Structure 1
Amino acid sequence: MGNRMTEDHGFDHPDVIVCPGGPLLLRGEHLVEDAEGVTHQTRRPVSAVCRCGKSASQPWCDGTHKVLAVRDRP
């Protein structure tokens, strides 16, 4: 895995995208360690990692952040 470089802009796209008030989006293959130290491998072209801590499917985002008060979002 790796990003292709463009001549004038560096990488052609980011591997990690921070969604304001939402998850981290991971593009490509990554290993994610959860709070218990268990390692999970991404399985999709883009995977969403929970940042609010409320997802029922940790470490993955299940959309719970959308129902949280704005002050409780990451």
Structure 2
Amino acid sequence: MDQEKVTIKINDNGSIRVTGAVELLDGAGDNYEVGSSFSLCRCGQSEKKPFCDGTHKKVGFESAPRAKE
């Protein structure tokens, strides 16, 4: 079985970028319609939750976590 790799990137001071074929479900298990890449809100201020609308720039959201080796 050949599966496309899914990448999830936590952007510095911004969104979570998801690239690849995934299903995004709400708390009731219903599907959001998404393409092959989309950004999720991390700052909690987006008017389009769970999606990012760029508000993190306006509110000065800061977070740049790093994976530990």
TM-score (ref. length: structure 2): 0.67
- Larger RCO: 1 or 2 (CA < 8 Å, sep 6+): 2
Aligned length: 60
The AA in structure 1 aligned to 2:50 is P
Which structure shows the bigger proportion of residues in strand conformation? 1
| Structure 1 alignment gaps of length 5 or more | 4-13
Report if aligned partners of 1:30, 1:42 keep a CA contact under 8 Å in 2. Answer: no
Root-mean-square deviation (CA), in Å? 2.2
Percent of aligned positions that are identical? 27
Matched residue type, 1:16? I
Structure whose alpha-carbon radius of gyration is higher: 1
